[in-house]
Each structure stands twice: as C-alpha cells, then as structure tokens.
Amino acid sequence: MAAIFLTAEWRKLAMANYPVDPSALRPLLPHRTELDTWAGEVYVSLVGFQFREVRVRGLRIPFHTNFPEVNLRFYIRYKEGNDWKRGVVFIREIVPLPAVSWVANTLFRERYISLPMRYEESQDGASLNAAYRWKYKGRWNELSVVADSGSHFLAEGSPIEVYGKKEI
C-alpha cells in the first residue's frame, strides 16, 4: 500500500453553485468522463474553506499547516463496469502560500495559483458571517456567506442528503 502523502481537515466550508452552459466545460473534461448533472443542469461551484492540520507524509510543515483555499470546480462522472463513479475537476485553486502551489502544480499537475488572501469571520447573534477574499490583478474578490450558527443537519432522505452519500 502506498504511503499517504497529504492529510488535512476542511473547516468553515462556504459553497456557491451556478448552472453553466455545458459547452464552456467540455474542453476541460478528462478522457473517458462526461459532465455530471443535478436536476438536468451542469454546475460549477465556488468553494472556500480553511485547510487545517495539514501534514505531508505525516509531518507538519512550519507556516503551512493552516490556511484558506478557494477553488472553482465542476462535476464529472465515468463508467466503471456497471457502476457510475463521480469526481471533481478543478478549474482553479487559490491559496496564499507559493510553496503549496508549487508542490501541487509540479508533483500533481494541479491548477493552483498563489494570491494574497484573507479569511474573516464574525458572530452576530445567531448568525455566523464568513468571508474568503483574494486579490487578483489589483482587485479584491470575495466569497461570503451568512449562516445560522446553530447545529443543523440535512433532512434524512432529502435530495441533497442522498446525493451527498454517493461516492464522489
């Protein structure tokens, strides 16, 4: 069995999904895959999260264990035998650490870019406000959410809960 290269936790996840014209994504499809859909639509997702407790081959790299990431992705599927398998294609991944981008791009042929980033969160009564910001070509961009800070779970059997259980 191969040694595990990277372990990490994803925390403070923020996600925005947008339907797109499938023709915009077809040139990015890996061989033997097709676009996956939700309710007949093709989506891209803008996802922000906190990478926490990052370890490379079990070791913490100083100043590289906790940092934000924002990525733009779309969803694919492919047939393996009689089963459909699902996956994700990353269009762009943004982190504030050049070393992370270098390793991901060089060793794994990912599409990372290092940009100045900020993560801010605040609590306002029962709401949690979270914002991921990145500076590109001199302009700050933002993915922000306001969420109920209470503990809520997806309704059992709901389409999102069921879809989330599928192998991705």
pLDDT, averaged in runs of 10, over the chain (168 residues): 81 92 97 95 96 87 91 96 95 96 91 96 86 97 86 62 46
CA–CA separation, 105 vs 32, rounded Å? Answer: 23
Provide the 3-class DSSP secondary structure of residue 24.
Answer: helix
What is the pLDDT at residue 127?
85
Rounded to whole angstroms, how far apart are CA atoms 101 and 115?
10
Q: Please, are residues 50 and 3 in contact by the beta-carbon 8 Å criterion? A: no
Confidence at residue 131, expressed as pLDDT on a 0 to 100 scale: 95
- Supply the pLDDT for residue 6: 81
Domain annotation for the chain: domains and CATH numbers: 6-164 (2.40.400.10)
Q: What is the pLDDT of residue 5?
A: 84
For position 161, what pLDDT does the model report?
A: 56
